Structure 1
């Protein structure tokens, strides 16, 4: 029997308990007994249990303690305050010279500095594991890989220690990992149950894939919506690794995937072809060799997307390194049946260990080649940027200082150079004012990230996308922006200074706060929480304030001093405190008689209800969307909401709440009685905020009456097509994630705080609903030529042009606010968040 076939049989039939653990994972290797193995430290063989994150950290701490070839650092903390750690490994000599090595790597990535001598520079390798918490094998592989690096006595291990600095991140998502580990361990049978139907292999909603707020962190390298990713990207820019890995799991009946990914169709448009045509195939030979040696099946060049910049395997590609995604068949527990037999947890771990070693060998063998590529990448980026006809991009929203600052900080976090705009200018049909706008030159080393932030891409080599097909971040932030060859850059912005406003002195008849700023809703909620009565002015007006005449738009907050339960000096002091906390400008007026427009006692001024929100979550609900809403209200507003599982909704008295949020999902499990209770609650004044297919369910139940768009001259599918094209043909009909230009009714409360009639919106659904039969209740629809970026089929684009983005459905004294786009997508669509927040604070005025 040949060796590969023997190992294939062993992989499925023999567990580490049947062999010495080192022999199973590292056949023939000898180890330094002074370095404790994971099994020695933990007291069980790797693969027997899912290791808790705190124990992984403790094992790394032990390695740091016992050898001068390891150093552990904490780079940040998760939402649940677990430490984010990086274990750095190298020879004692390299560890003693670590900072000098880092500075040389930074020097190499900066074409303005002299090129260092590459012959003595070690390869910088970043082994990243476990971004998805319920893909647990990789974090176990991280421990075994660290052990091998420090203790193995083979020539290969010694060569890697001498010629590389290896950074190991055991899991980017500690919170999700522990959620899954608890599930798998607490549902483990003795003996383990391989049946896929067993509870162990079927986690309860939302599962361990996501982080605390149910976000997929393998999408967050670009948005940086979460502390895990912010810490990781900040660390990444301190090193610019030559190679970065991203280890995952896939379906149990699969085998193993490594790059290259699908040619052209899954590639990022700003990454040099050399990455795809030369470097990826070069490294693939090592992975194939290692997998061949153990007789493992594998595949390449299919399915997996490498285009979206927020992936852990794509972000490095846009920074002069090689990002590598690996996927192994998953046991999703300790052992699970598959079409090829029972897959053990140990088997999945070993696959990732093998490819960790292959990656390091490839990186060291190609050490100087990858260093040359890093230098070449940033040199060519700057050269391409210098030739770009745009020359620079200018951006800025003159009405929203907080959102401007959020975007500037976001660019700085990605190491993009930003400058103050030194003159008033017009570009792309828009005006940009000095002091309220910024300039980003294309002639900079981060030119390819500049393109990522400001370019719209519409043309693609493929029509099927694993994920988003558009990611123009300036649009996500709702930034007015344009290419501006004539822009004059002023002072470079290296950090944002603190923002403060003077508070008006003296007695006030009322205080006014403009609703345009991103954090005005947070200010409102903080005021309400403090017991301060706040009203909304539903029309435009001008007032005499401490700053003279000021024009205010509809949605302005008004705090009337004559209607407060607290004493006047207490109210003023609290407003001053909260204004400083939320960076809000407060105006004082001494009369309710305005200079123009409606007065402050008009019937078009009304009290704002303090939100009492119930959101349905649980089985059947889109956890990503629910998490986006939870994160927005928690992290951006400090507003607690009640999250209720679908099956418990019947126990809730809806009249304890004034707002119900229905994220996308299936609601058919609700009984007729529950549905009637919901309809009665709405009819008596409740507000439902309904997302996408939740709106379809409401129409199905007769609660609302919105209708789908149907094309009169729609072409029909062919009667017969080859079976082989089914995925591509059907996949092309989906709207996987793209950007469109919406038209706002600025007089409608959904648009309070907006000053431009058009707004980029993000859509990732193929639900197309007609505008309301009531001509006043479609406040957001699409322009005649709405497609800005990303893929959409011709048929879907025609449907979109006839569709509504937001529809209001009156139901008795209440209403449903329907969203068919994704206003809170991935925690980074700051430009459309206010549409959603307006539905919360002003919902009872929308119909």
Structure 2
């Protein structure tokens, strides 16, 4: 045992010496300019000895830009925690002096209108992107080394790289997550280093450093464009259109190193051009192979990672004429960790990422003509493909929800998709699209592939195993009414980010009452704002029609009534508050002068119910899904501007629940809630409060008898259990039965408070789990149920469709004493992008208290 420990210490010291010396990383690039400090000199520790904080990364890159004429630095955005997103631009002095003209020429090559054959006067544009997952840290350390070598090396081959390329180094795509992880591993770093994988250094606390401030996975967010980091990257990308984009990651400690080519897309008709998978990736793979062979690193390709989802850092650029490249390095998850083949050190992981960075630069320069020819042809080819397509475009729009429509258009514009106003009404697919609320997206445009990505749905696949979601039709995410058109309609001016605005009528003062429709996405934000100001608000549980100042107007269930006579604040203060929320959220407030309705209930009817202001709490930590918790946190805080208390599961036993009237439990195990805690929760609900559960939290509530509901368990045929299958195909068989992420249709009871604000009973929802809720025994409590033919988009087996979906509920409400438990089988807030089902969740929060289960 003593000898083993001695060997371990010697090895640890050897690793430290290597990381502190240049020879381990970049001896091939000597000599170096002594006026440019190495990372070790600047940081005062060897790369790999510690994890480098984000502020030090920014400081070092800034210093390089100050000292070298071959570098400039730009802040291209900021994170939720106000950390800088930076790009260090590296090239020859001549290229940097002429970078704007070179950029202009480069963009002409990218344009579908220009046919260029000679690219000799253009450098290749390379975007080296690192550390999108905060606890995959080796790539940022490699970024520091890469920047140093490019700017300090006197080696002729490096000088040639600067002449032939403009290199953008984005060292930390996810600064908030990186610092969360960095602080953890540096805090628990052992001296000597501890390789034991059970040591606290290698086991981060919840929510871990993978995600950003709101616990979002930024590597899934480029297509969805929810978080500020992603929006900043998109804006930068569409300004430059680099030829090559890298996406450096880490994977399991017991693995090796992965580089492209990936697995082919599981789709039978992949959007990404086949040439990208084959010709370009294979051309680069030769360089990765040679350089990794040279340092004796093991690697693999064409496995595990597929290119199906177009929103990764390693796939998004593929739909823009770039070559996007994925790298996955086995992680030390700290400074050193044991594996079946020995220990893996942080310096070792850094070196592989560093080597791959330079392999990318060399491959890009060597294949410059191939890359430029591909990019020059990409958008022209997109126009040609669109011209041959039978589908000439898509018409879309929502007649009721202006903000949700605006948000969808905002998303399209972020991806440079051209959108136009309709000139006249379009009737198709038994749907009507009115010219004042609908829009047209032609397929014949440079972003043809992105148009397809936003609207197309798929039901047939070559494979059943996905690394991630199998569906992403954004029109369904937004519950946007849309239709494909085989003939272009009459359309007029193009929509821009400047013109994509909502105009509302000016509010006039009333002495009697004000009415607000619940149709708009931001209605909950408006309501909360009013409640915070002490305004008493009622909601309608029946529809009605009234005379407003200028016209007759119909109001549906959920509409808000603010009666002037019952308020505790002055009429002037009320008018000011209403004017403020109307202008802030772009929602019309209607002044009325009488309580008498033209049709339906009058304003004094008992069918108007006073709303209680939500005081919400969500359980976090423990076995709770940080992704889902973050989605709720972001929705309430960033969109609805309302607070939510995030209470750790470990202190639930001593939490005073009387402070809250809404508790949210997202997916999780909740093993820390013992019998006493579960009874405490049940008693709290019975006292008249609302518990909201999603996905596995719903099945947890059923299994722990918080509710008297049941799950659907399909009994297996004994004959099938004896079926003999090939061991080598086990992954594929297991993958077929999982619900990796697909879109399905439910029938929603729009007369139920959970369904208020919806006008169509058919609603797309996202499912990526196997939680199957049996419809409630109470005939009025199944709020949403999957339809007979629910499949809209993505992979699903016939077995799952027939045995589960057609029998299952998507949302049920269970009465417990005076309170209720609202159970979602699915996640209505998936990745912060499901605008179409967010309202179901917000309705649960605001209208849960008015649900009266018969």
The TM-score bracket by the shorter chain reads over 0.9
1:492 aligns with 2:494: yes
Tell me whether 232-241 or 696-705 shows the greater mean CA deviation. Answer: 696-705
- Aligned to 1:46, the other structure's residue is in SS state coil
1:680 aligns with 2:678: no
1:624 aligns with 2:627: yes
- The residue number in structure 1 matching 2:761 is 757
Aligned-partner Cα distance in 1 for 2:760–2:681: 36
Q: Which of 577, 580, 598 is the equivalent residue of 1:574?
A: 577
1:844 aligns with 2:849: yes
Task: Give the drift of 1:50.
Answer: 0.5
Q: Residues 372 and 704 of structure 1: is their aligned pair in 2 closer, same or farther, counting only changes over 3 Å?
A: same
Deviations 1:529-574 (A, max 9, x none): 1111111011100011112210010000110111111111111111
Q: Residues 101 and 18 of structure 1: is their aligned pair in 2 closer, same or farther, counting only changes over 3 Å?
A: same
| Contact 1:12–1:342 (8 Å) recurs in 2 | no
| Contact 1:501–1:584 (8 Å) recurs in 2 | yes
1:833 aligns with 2:838: yes
Deviations 1:57-76 (A, max 9, x none): 01011011011110100011
Task: Give the drift of 1:19.
Answer: 6.9
Task: Give the drift of 1:737.
Answer: 0.5
| Contact 2:306–2:466 (8 Å) recurs in 1 | yes
Deviations 1:165-205 (A, max 9, x none): 00011111000000000001011111111111110000000
1:744 aligns with 2:741: no
Q: Which of 805, 819, 827 is the equivalent residue of 2:824?
A: 819
| Contact 2:283–2:367 (8 Å) recurs in 1 | no
Task: Give the drift of 1:97.
Answer: 0.8
- The residue number in structure 2 matching 1:414 is 415
1:800 aligns with 2:796: no
- Aligned to 1:629, the other structure's residue is in SS state helix
Task: Give the drift of 1:404.
Answer: 0.9
- The residue number in structure 2 matching 1:706 is 709
- The residue number in structure 1 matching 2:34 is 33
| Contact 2:135–2:208 (8 Å) recurs in 1 | yes
1:462-481 alignment to 2 at 5 Å?
462-481=463-482
Aligned-partner Cα distance in 1 for 2:155–2:709: 69
Task: Give the drift of 1:774.
Answer: 1.0
Task: Give the drift of 1:712.
Answer: 6.7
Aligned-partner Cα distance in 2 for 1:515–1:284: 55
- Aligned to 2:157, the other structure's residue is in SS state helix
| Contact 2:81–2:176 (8 Å) recurs in 1 | yes
- Aligned to 2:27, the other structure's residue is in SS state coil
Tell me whether 415-424 or 98-107 shows the greater mean CA deviation. Answer: 98-107
- The residue number in structure 2 matching 1:3 is none
- The residue number in structure 1 matching 2:3 is none
1:175-574 alignment to 2 at 5 Å?
175-265=176-266, 269-486=270-487, 487-497=489-499, 498-574=501-577
| Contact 1:267–1:305 (8 Å) recurs in 2 | no
- The residue number in structure 2 matching 1:586 is 589
Tell me whether 24-33 or 343-352 shows the greater mean CA deviation. Answer: 24-33
1:781 aligns with 2:785: yes
Aligned-partner Cα distance in 2 for 1:386–1:523: 45
Task: Give the drift of 1:386.
Answer: 1.4
Aligned-partner Cα distance in 2 for 1:346–1:267: 41
Aligned-partner Cα distance in 1 for 2:261–2:729: 22
Tell me whether 705-714 or 596-605 shows the greater mean CA deviation. Answer: 705-714
Aligned-partner Cα distance in 1 for 2:227–2:269: 23
Tell me whether 433-442 or 764-773 shows the greater mean CA deviation. Answer: 764-773
| Contact 1:381–1:444 (8 Å) recurs in 2 | yes
| Contact 1:500–1:580 (8 Å) recurs in 2 | no
Aligned-partner Cα distance in 1 for 2:770–2:142: 40
| Contact 1:268–1:307 (8 Å) recurs in 2 | no
Deviations 1:575-609 (A, max 9, x none): 11111111110101111111110111111111111
Aligned-partner Cα distance in 1 for 2:819–2:245: 53
- The residue number in structure 2 matching 1:649 is 652
Aligned-partner Cα distance in 1 for 2:181–2:639: 27
1:611 aligns with 2:606: no
Task: Give the drift of 1:696.
Answer: 1.5
Aligned-partner Cα distance in 2 for 1:94–1:14: 41
Task: Give the drift of 1:701.
Answer: 2.0
Aligned-partner Cα distance in 1 for 2:275–2:661: 57
| Contact 1:251–1:329 (8 Å) recurs in 2 | yes
Question: What is the TM-score when the length of structure 2 is the normalising length?
Answer: 0.96
Aligned-partner Cα distance in 1 for 2:812–2:414: 37
Gaps of at least 5 residues in structure 1 are 1-9
Deviations 1:496-531 (A, max 9, x none): 434342333243311001000111111001111111
Aligned-partner Cα distance in 2 for 1:539–1:20: 73
Aligned-partner Cα distance in 2 for 1:96–1:266: 45
Task: Give the drift of 1:719.
Answer: 3.4
1:45 aligns with 2:46: yes
Q: Residues 20 and 610 of structure 1: is their aligned pair in 2 closer, same or farther, counting only changes over 3 Å?
A: closer
| Contact 1:690–1:817 (8 Å) recurs in 2 | yes
Deviations 1:210-239 (A, max 9, x none): 000000000001001000000001100111
Aligned-partner Cα distance in 2 for 1:633–1:267: 39
Aligned-partner Cα distance in 1 for 2:263–2:491: 40
- Aligned to 1:621, the other structure's residue is in SS state coil
Aligned-partner Cα distance in 2 for 1:383–1:652: 63
Q: Residues 291 and 676 of structure 1: is their aligned pair in 2 closer, same or farther, counting only changes over 3 Å?
A: same
Task: Give the drift of 1:770.
Answer: 1.4
| Contact 2:702–2:711 (8 Å) recurs in 1 | no
- The residue number in structure 1 matching 2:7 is none
Aligned-partner Cα distance in 1 for 2:392–2:729: 43
| Contact 1:221–1:233 (8 Å) recurs in 2 | yes
| Contact 2:628–2:666 (8 Å) recurs in 1 | yes
Task: Give the drift of 1:686.
Answer: 1.1
1:734 aligns with 2:735: no
Deviations 1:800-820 (A, max 9, x none): 121111011111111110111
| Contact 1:268–1:308 (8 Å) recurs in 2 | no
| Contact 1:266–1:465 (8 Å) recurs in 2 | no
- The residue number in structure 1 matching 2:86 is 85
Aligned-partner Cα distance in 2 for 1:265–1:404: 31
Q: Residues 225 and 20 of structure 1: is their aligned pair in 2 closer, same or farther, counting only changes over 3 Å?
A: closer
- The residue number in structure 1 matching 2:729 is 725
1:75-154 alignment to 2 at 5 Å?
75-113=76-114, 115=116, 117-154=118-155
Task: Give the drift of 1:142.
Answer: 0.5
| Contact 1:267–1:307 (8 Å) recurs in 2 | no
Aligned-partner Cα distance in 2 for 1:266–1:196: 38
Aligned-partner Cα distance in 1 for 2:381–2:191: 58
Deviations 1:8-66 (A, max 9, x none): xx999942514762211012321122221111111111001100000100101101101
| Contact 2:19–2:47 (8 Å) recurs in 1 | no
Aligned-partner Cα distance in 2 for 1:712–1:131: 43
| Contact 2:667–2:694 (8 Å) recurs in 1 | yes
Question: What is the TM-score when the length of structure 1 is the normalising length?
Answer: 0.97
Q: Residues 718 and 792 of structure 1: is their aligned pair in 2 closer, same or farther, counting only changes over 3 Å?
A: farther
Aligned-partner Cα distance in 2 for 1:390–1:821: 32
Gaps of at least 5 residues in structure 2 are 1-9
RMSD of the alignment, in Å?
Answer: 1.6
Q: Residues 285 and 235 of structure 1: is their aligned pair in 2 closer, same or farther, counting only changes over 3 Å?
A: same
